[in-house]
Chains A and B, each alone.
Chain A
Amino acid sequence: MAQVSITVNGKRRSADVEPRLLLVHFLREHLNLTGAHVGCDTSQCGACTVLLDGRSAKSCTIFAVQADGAEVTTIEGLADGDRLHPLQEGFWEEHGLQCGYCTPGMIMSAVNLLNDNPAPTEQDIRDGLDGNLCRCTGYQHIVNAVQHAAGRTREG
């Protein structure tokens, strides 16, 4: 077993874990933060995406021990209290989700995308979300959702 200490959504969390424990299972099983989902086993789908020290990362491809000492933000930590993050607003306003399973990872990737490029073109958005798969929406409303958030972010 290995001791890890990870700051998750602003709270420091320590635990003894198996060295092979994936970060996504640490979040889901140990911390009950079930917003990050597992949709594949080859790092293709991005449903498990979280922010690791501010950058998007696929939490199914990282061992919890690799995140020792890091700061992790999950979908549960994105809103400011009752105030939704602009991307959460965007996904709601623009019908950017259907079954919702890819959504937490999609939103966290989009956070990273807008951090890097606050005024993306449609093509920038489509290319920027290529690491996240959605089988329901055909992506058009997701693009709209990110544009919605980008507009609000710019205004804000």
Chain B
Amino acid sequence: MTVTPVLPKLVGQRVKRREDPRLIQGRGTYVDDVKLAGMLHLAFKRSDVAHGRILSIDTSAAEALDGVEAVFTGAQMAEMAGPLPTLLPFPAPERRAVATGVVRFVGEPVAVVVARDRYVARDAVDAIEVDYEPLPVVVDPEQAMTGEPVVLHADFPHNLMLASLPMGTGVGADGLVDDTAVDQAFADAEVVISQRMINQRLAPTPIEPRGVVAHYEPGKETLTIWSSTQSPHLLRTFMASMNGMGEDQVRAIAPEVGGGFGCKSAGSAEECVTAAVSRRLGVPVKWVEERSEAFLATNHGRDLIGYVDLAARRDGTVLGLKLRIVADVGAYNMIFTAAVPTSTMTMASGNYAIPAIRATLTEVFTNKTPTDAYRGAGRPEGIYFLERAMDMLARELGMDPAELRRKNFIRPEQFPHATQTGVVYDSGDYDKALDRALENAGWEQLKAERDAARADGRLVGLGLSMYVEVCGVGPSSALPMGGWEHSQVTVERDGRISATTGASPHGQGNETTFAQMLADQFGVPLEHIRIHHGDTAVVKQGSLGTGGSRSQAVGGAALHLAGGRVKTKMAKFAALLLEAHEADLVFENGRIGVKGAPSAAKPFAEVAAYAYRPIRLPEGLEPGLSEEAFFEPANNTYPFGCNIALLEVDRDTGEPRLLRLVAVDDAGRLINPLIVEGQVHGGLAQGIGQALIEEVVYGGDGQPLTGSLMDYALPRASDFPRFELDATVTPTPLNPLGAKGIGEAGTIGSTPCVVSAAVDALSGFGVRHIDMLLRPEKLWRIIHGARD
């Protein structure tokens, strides 16, 4: 008798990643590793003024260089490609990939060089001379709103992309606003917290800069484009429409992608230009971004000013919230630019049952790099404004910050919960996450330790913040490219499984988590499963790709549905072979057998082979085992959690030092807790980075002062303590996995938590709020009473 090995269930296990062997041996293929015969190198001449009219461009010296194949100015590029795409619900100014008359930020392309190699291309860029008539510059969004000293886009008076878009209580579908309830809440208030807060501009900075290889083949009339993108299918759509081609003529490939964090969606100026130039010249063309170029040309994130008013009773009950947002979107709209801060409004209620909310959003053009999605994309800003205000309220009332939160939580029995900002939270148990965090941190003891340290003269502070965020956005009516995701699962004739997913990863480990799911679903070894992604010729369909923490909740759900369909069909073949009823079959340990009769089983591969050569075909069945699914989420998922920070400020230098960071995250059901921990760690690092060291800075003349990694501080290993993580599990009812999403959580809760800890540490100096970033000089001035 043979013994069948028992396969362990893999979902929920810390399975080590299947992506890693190639990556730890230098065998991954990123865009810059793609080499094609006859490939030319493209480089951009970029504006070095923040606002100016192009008077002349002299490309003669560049064209004379040995190895230069072509130089294109904006006027020439405009004939080769249409305006850049946006996916906005609002009107936007037209933007050309290469400026034609006026440049509006430092880094805007003004000319394009194509050369034999990247060194020559760079020489040629340096040889181009551009003469500008300087125009007035505006970098402060609240200055820009006055329309002085200059208006960037003629059709947008006062530089307003969007003027006071209202959301919240009493906003009708017709846009009419009834302030009665909000006004009443503030009239009833015993205490009102009011604070202007800055959520500063950041640079996403994946370690792999962006890059593109485009190959137009004139004989076939096809374009293949490799891009370091999160969204290959979206890229295909954009490239087809911009180049006047059909989607059937375009193949988009996201090879190994070295991080994205929102700044690698699709439809960038560089993708458009590289594709158009390849089409013009009929040869492959490569563009790879330099890091200093990335600080100018890749979208920035955040950059919101929030005016927060929080109304409450003295017992801590929150009665109302007003949030007026001014978003500095930079010089143009990109794909999601205008949409990102709308999430700041929709998430304004946080974890609390706030009965009256008025949020308004104003988006302003300035002479800066455009903003777009950056990890969290609107939610970190909203949670920051709210949680900082809650912290100020707790301090004002002398309440424990945890108890103030608890008092206002949406209760577990109130889910699904419709907020005043018009969204419906799916599920939640906020007490559970808070309690776990308090327990893990040792909250009461920690407070005692803080007080003891203070008695010794040390400046130690505690911060606590809750968060709730939005993932897996759907349904399709909520997103311009559709809210669904696609998957196809094929059981091959040898019993191996190939699956495709439109959720194109860039470090999220989908090749592992998705294989874990199929291994359990089919009862086969992990090694027999391969997940294909990132190539529109292989992956038939996809929508947004990977972003908005949607891989599991939407992409994973599509995979699960497609797998289920194949399994149902395979069971019909197995039932025929086993002379059993489909309902009695079990798929386990590489075999398909009959429940309660372990000896009656067929090897999985034997059933698979039969399906491709069905000697007898069950009635109504086609041969083969390959099924697809589009999963359409009925609504968004809302993960949540709690962060606690312990921080000390050096009295002599003002330097803040994070001593502890305790995080409890509830992302619903987890497929691979090891990967989830990695996602949380990375998110925390970015959220803490915003609080402590990261900021994009511009001079008053619109010149970026943080144009390289020497000037923009990216967190390093020595900046952090060991993070203390834990998870609670509150499944979502919105998808068959119960998974909510975890990619951005750490970025959302940690930032206000760290700032609140710093404010707590310096509370003895009468400070209520400190705007980010927590620069040592700023803290030193608070400690030493110095004025600017």
Q: Write the residues of chain A forming the contact surface with B, with a CB cutoff of 8 angstroms.
A: 18, 20-21, 28, 32-42, 44-45, 47, 74-76, 78-79, 84, 88, 91-93, 95, 97-104, 107, 122-123, 125-127, 129-130, 132-143
Contacts and interface: CB of A to CB of B under 8 A. Distances in A.
Nearest to B725: A140
Contacts of A39: 207-209, 258, 291
Contacts of B507: 97-100, 136
B720 A140 contact: yes
A93 B14 CA distance: 10
A71 B30 CA distance: 26
B292 interface: yes
Given A39-B291, A100-B23, A142 B717 contact: yes
Contacts of A34: 26, 29-30, 32-33
A34 B33 CA distance: 6
B21 A92 contact: yes
A33 B33 CA distance: 9
Given A75-B26, A98-B678, A41 B291 contact: yes
Nearest to B675: A95
Interface string B183-225: 0000000000000000000000111110000000000000000
Contacts of A99: 206-208, 256-259, 506-507
B685 interface: yes
Interface string B236-271: 000000000000000000001111010000000000
A95 B24 contact: no
Contacts of A138: 678, 680-685, 720, 723, 746
Given A39-B207, A99-B208, A88 B25 contact: yes
Interface string B412-451: 0000000000000000000000000000000000000000
Interface stretch (B82-90, B143-151, B163-171, B707-715): B707-715
6 contacts: A41-B292, A47-B207, A88-B25, A92-B17, A130-B717, A136-B259
A117 B310 CA distance: 54
Contacts of B119: 18, 20-21
Contacts of B259: 98-99, 101, 135-136
Query: Which of B32, B681, B710 has the largest count of A CB atoms less than 10 A from its CB?
Result: B681
A39 B30 CA distance: 12
A101 B207 CA distance: 7
A79 B290 CA distance: 30
Nearest to B688: A138
A96 B652 CA distance: 36
A139 B677 CA distance: 12
Contacts of A41: 290-292, 708
Given A91-B24, A100-B20, 11 more contacts: A45-B709, A78-B25, A91-B20, A99-B257, A100-B256, A101-B30, A125-B717, A126-B716, A134-B207, A136-B507, A138-B678
Contacts of B679: 98
Contacts of A141: 677-678, 681
Interface of B: 16-17, 19-21, 23-30, 32-33, 35, 119, 205-209, 256-259, 261, 288, 290-292, 506-509, 674-675, 677-686, 708-710, 714, 716-718, 720, 722-723, 746
A34 B684 CA distance: 30
Given A18-B119, A122-B722, A35 B291 contact: no
A140 B25 contact: no
Contacts of A91: 20, 24
A145 B419 CA distance: 43
Given A37-B30, A47-B207, A126 B718 contact: yes
A91 to B, nearest CB: 5
Contacts of B205: 135
A72 to B, nearest CB: 13
B678 A137 contact: yes
A101 B24 contact: no
A33 B456 CA distance: 56
B718 A127 contact: yes
A122 B718 CA distance: 10
Contacts of A142: 717
B126 to A, nearest CB: 13
Given A99-B257, A99-B258, A102-B207, A136 B25 contact: no
Given A41-B291, A141-B681, A135 B24 contact: no
Contact of A135 (B20, B35, B207, B509): B207
A100 B28 contact: yes
A98 B257 CA distance: 10
Contacts of A140: 681, 720, 722-723
A130 B508 CA distance: 24
Contacts of A132: 717
B207 A76 contact: no
The 3 closest A-B pairs by CB, nearest first: A35-B26, A101-B258, A100-B23
B682 A98 contact: yes
A129 B717 contact: yes
Given A47-B207, A142-B717, A92 B709 contact: no
Contacts of A21: 119
A133 B207 contact: yes
B414 to A, nearest CB: 34
A138 B715 CA distance: 8
Contacts of A74: 26
A85 to B, nearest CB: 9
A28 B259 CA distance: 20
A20 B25 CA distance: 28
Contacts of B685: 135, 137-139
A126 B509 CA distance: 25
A125 B208 CA distance: 23
Contact of B709 (A35, A40, A78, A93): A40
A62 to B, nearest CB: 16
Contacts of B19: 100
A136 B678 contact: yes
A103 B722 CA distance: 20
A33 B209 contact: no
B32 A100 contact: no
A154 B507 CA distance: 31
A95 B678 contact: yes
A40 B291 CA distance: 5
Contacts of A47: 207
Nearest to A79: B25
Contacts of B29: 34
Contacts of A136: 207, 259, 507, 678, 682
Nearest to A129: B717
A98 B291 contact: no
Nearest to A85: B24
Given A40-B708, A100-B28, A135-B259, A130 B718 contact: yes
Contacts of A88: 24-25
A32 B32 CA distance: 11
B258 A95 contact: no
Contact of B720 (A38, A44, A92, A139): A139
Contact of A101 (B17, B25, B208, B720): B208
B28 to A, nearest CB: 5
A91 B714 CA distance: 22
A35 B27 contact: yes
Given A44-B710, A99-B259, A100-B256, A135 B23 contact: no
A28 B674 CA distance: 33
Nearest to A141: B678
Contacts of B27: 35, 76
A82 B21 CA distance: 11
Nearest to B261: A135
Contacts of B674: 95
A142 B291 CA distance: 23
Given A42-B709, A101-B207, A102-B207, A95 B716 contact: no
A133 B714 CA distance: 7
B527 to A, nearest CB: 15
A125 B508 CA distance: 25
A49 to B, nearest CB: 12
Contacts of B710: 42, 44
